[in-house]
């Protein structure tokens, strides 16, 4: 008896997709990031297009406007991503030419070369954002009796 082949229903989207490998997601470099830093990384990943747009030109003001944060917060997030090795600055900004800083993602291909994976060398020194979360205390629950119930 022959087996029936299941029809694979793939979702077709127009604008492509973004991916973050589990190796990066589980790394100490990624785990040391705050939620804003992670949102900035995803936004830079959104602008990365392999073989077409591998260099990401992004100013602090533009980044702040696009994801809805303060420009100083955007600058701190970019510096943090660079310090953990997830991005690298390729070109400095030039006020006279009106160009923003250019970045590349170290975990993605760049100009036909393999990723440099600078983030893999990161060693977490000190508390992470997960360490700042206050643990829930184990207090007994108090229930109120409703009127008319036994």
- The pTM of this model reads 0.75
Per-residue pLDDT of the chain (150 residues; tens, 9 = 90+): 566 666 666 667 777 788 889 999 999 999 999 999 999 999 999 999 888 888 999 999 999 999 999 999 999 999 999 999 999 999 898 888 888 899 999 999 998 889 999 999 998 877 665 555 555 555 555 666 666 666
Q: Which of 63, 67, 48, 59 is nearest to 100 (CA)?
A: 59
Just give the CATH number of 22-109: 1.10.10.10
What pLDDT is recorded for position 50? 84
How many Å from the N-terminal Cα to the C-terminal Cα in the chain? 63
Give residue limits of the domains in the chain.
Answer: 22-109
The per-residue pLDDT for range 55-95, each reduced to its tens digit, is 999 999 999 999 999 999 999 999 999 999 999 999 898 88
What pLDDT is recorded for position 57? 92
Q: If DSSP codes are grouped into helix, strand and coil, which group holds residue 57? A: strand
Whether 120 contacts 27, CB under 8 Å: yes
What pLDDT is recorded for position 13? 74
Phi and psi (nearest 5°) for 90?
A: -95, -45
- Listed in sequence order, the residues at least 6 apart from 39 whose beta carbon sits closer than 8 Å to its beta carbon are 67, 69, 77
Residues constituting the chain: 150
Question: Alpha-carbon distance 8 to 70, whole Å?
Answer: 44
């Amino acid at each position: 008896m022959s087996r029936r082949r299941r029809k694979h229903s793939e979702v077709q989207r127009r604008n492509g997709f973004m991916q973050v490998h589990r190796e990066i997601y589980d790394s100490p470099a990624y785990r040391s990031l705050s939620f804003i830093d992670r949102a900035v990384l995803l936004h830079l990943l959104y602008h990365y297009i392999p073989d077409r747009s591998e260099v990401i030109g992004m100013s602090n003001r533009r980044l702040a406007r696009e994801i809805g944060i303060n420009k100083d917060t955007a600058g701190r997030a970019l510096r943090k991503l660079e310090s953990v090795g997830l991005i690298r600055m390729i070109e400095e900004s030039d006020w006279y030419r009106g160009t923003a800083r250019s970045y590349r993602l170290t975990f993605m291909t760049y100009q036909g070369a393999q990723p440099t994976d600078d983030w893999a060398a990161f060693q977490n020194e000190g508390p992470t954002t997960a360490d700042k979360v206050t643990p829930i205390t184990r207090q007994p629950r108090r229930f109120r009796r409703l009127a008319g119930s036994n």
